[in-house]
């Protein structure tokens, strides 16, 4: 009864205010009286914007991959034809799996090195007190913001044996995995140190002291107690490093000749080549013709390892990022 009694009054009030208020003023009044609808609308708009900007590039790659290359210039929002064989041709035209294997080896090797060194550095910054700790940590983080181009010329000379110091020339690392893994390690190490230092600093001292009373060393306590208890942080640092290295293009393009060994077994030979995934995608364009459908199909195939890793480790990544941000 009360609701039916209020409705005519509200309607009468709106009718009375109608001539005095325009549409924007009435909408603003309703938004103020019921902010929950506004928040819900903003969520839907933000979610739709995120979905479109994030997923549309992958949809466009799929459209290009399914369209035969001779119809590629007339493609619209839907595939102009249906050619799923492009996902097989990428392995027939080139040994694309070797490019993917090179990227995986570079990413896994760099991730292992980064986690090993960053764990030691994170332990020092997170659990030990020493003068100048904060400025030194700030300096480490500042390195991660340096543009990679600033390192290119000195590293290129260094990795080609052009630097002589005390009569000893630098090693020739061009076209070897170390020519890429060393710069990758330097560039992606600071963020991992920051993440691990934040997690290691949250471990109670009593747990480490108990481990040391049992006879282990500081290094032993780090790998047996602190790192297992900081699993979300270690997983986050490792996954972020792996994804960054796997998708890296700048140093990979300049430090290799774009070639690969003839067979997958040739990776272990001394005459191997280490062109990564991004250079494999570029190989589908020749002097007179570009196979855009194969480039799109190769891009989708190449992103699958990272997509699988993110799906498997998404819980650890979210947990690591949120716990690191809520340090007390």
Per-domain boundaries in the chain: 34-83, 95-324
Whether the pLDDT of residue 287 is over 50: the answer is: yes
**Is residue 113's pLDDT more than 90?**
yes
- Find the Cα–Cα–Cα–Cα dihedral 44, 45, 47, 52, rounded to 10°: 130
pLDDT of residue 266: 56
User: Is it the case that residue 321 has pLDDT exceeding 70?
Assistant: no
CATH code assigned to 95-324: 1.10.3720.10
Q: What is the pLDDT of residues 144-197, one digit of tens each?
A: 788 878 888 888 888 887 788 777 888 888 888 888 889 889 888 888 998 888
In three-state secondary structure terms, 215 is coil
* Cβ count near 229 (within 10 Å): 17
The pLDDT of residue 34 is: 82
Q: Residue 117 pLDDT more than 90?
A: yes
Give the per-residue pLDDT at 323: 60
- Most confidently predicted of 17-26, 148-157, 201-210, 298-307: 298-307
**Position 19 pLDDT exceeds 70:** no
**Helical spans, DSSP H, in the chain:** 2-17, 23-33, 35-66, 86-93, 96-127, 133-143, 149-158, 178-200, 205-213, 218-221, 227-229, 231-246, 250-254, 277-282, 292-325
pLDDT at 115: 92
Structure tokens, 122:
């994170």
Task: Check: CB of residue 302 under 8 Å from CB of residue 279.
Answer: no
Render pLDDT for 129-138 as a digit per residue (tens, 0 to 9): 888 888 888 8
Residue 254 has pLDDT above 80, yes or no: yes
What per-residue confidence (pLDDT) applies to 79? 84
Q: Give the predicted TM-score (pTM) of the model.
A: 0.78
Helix (H, G, I), strand (E, B) or coil at 1: coil
pLDDT per residue as tens digits for the range 35-85? 888 888 889 999 899 888 888 888 988 999 999 888 888 788 888 888 888
Q: Which residue has the higher pLDDT, 265 or 246?
A: 246
pLDDT digits (tens, 9 = 90+) for 255-284: 888 777 766 655 555 556 788 888 888 888
Mean pLDDT to the nearest integer, 9-30: 65
Q: Tell me the pLDDT tens digit for each residue of 204-242.
A: 888 888 888 888 888 888 888 888 888 888 888 898 899
């Amino acid at each position: 009864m009360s609701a039916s009694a209020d409705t005519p009054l509200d309607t009468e009030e709106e009718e009375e205010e109608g001539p005095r208020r325009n549409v924007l003023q009435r909408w603003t009044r309703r938004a103020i009286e019921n902010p929950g609808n506004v928040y819900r609308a903003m969520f839907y708009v933000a979610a739709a914007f995120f979905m479109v900007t994030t997923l549309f590039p992958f949809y466009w790659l799929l459209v290009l991959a399914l369209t035969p290359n001779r119809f590629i210039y007339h493609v619209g929002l839907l595939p102009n034809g249906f050619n799923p064989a492009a996902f097989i041709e990428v392995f027939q035209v080139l040994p694309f799996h070797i490019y993917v294997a090179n990227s995986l080896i570079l990413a896994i090797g760099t991730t292992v090195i980064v986690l090993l060194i960053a764990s030691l550095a994170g332990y020092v910054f997170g659990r030990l007190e020493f003068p100048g700790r904060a400025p030194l940590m700030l300096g480490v983080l500042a390195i991660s913001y340096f543009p990679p181009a600033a390192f290119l010329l000195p590293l290129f000379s260094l990795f080609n044996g052009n630097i002589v110091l005390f009569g000893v020339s630098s090693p020739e690392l061009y076209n070897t995995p170390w020519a890429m893994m060393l710069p990758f390690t330097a560039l992606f190490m600071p963020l991992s140190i920051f993440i691990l230092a934040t997690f290691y600093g949250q471990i109670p001292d009593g747990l480490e002291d108990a481990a040391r009373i049992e006879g282990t060393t500081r290094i032993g306590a780090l790998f047996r107690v602190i790192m297992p208890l900081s699993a979300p942080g270690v997983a986050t640092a490792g996954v972020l490093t792996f994804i960054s290295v796997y998708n890296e293009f700048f140093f990979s393009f300049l430090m290799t000749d774009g070639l690969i060994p003839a067979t997958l077994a040739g990776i272990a030979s001394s005459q191997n080549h280490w062109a990564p995934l991004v250079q494999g995608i570029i190989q589908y364009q020749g002097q007179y013709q570009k196979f855009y459908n194969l480039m799109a199909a190769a891009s989708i195939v190449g992103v699958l390892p990272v997509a699988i890793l993110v799906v498997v480790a998404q819980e650890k990544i979210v947990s690591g990022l949120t716990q690191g941000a809520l340090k007390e």
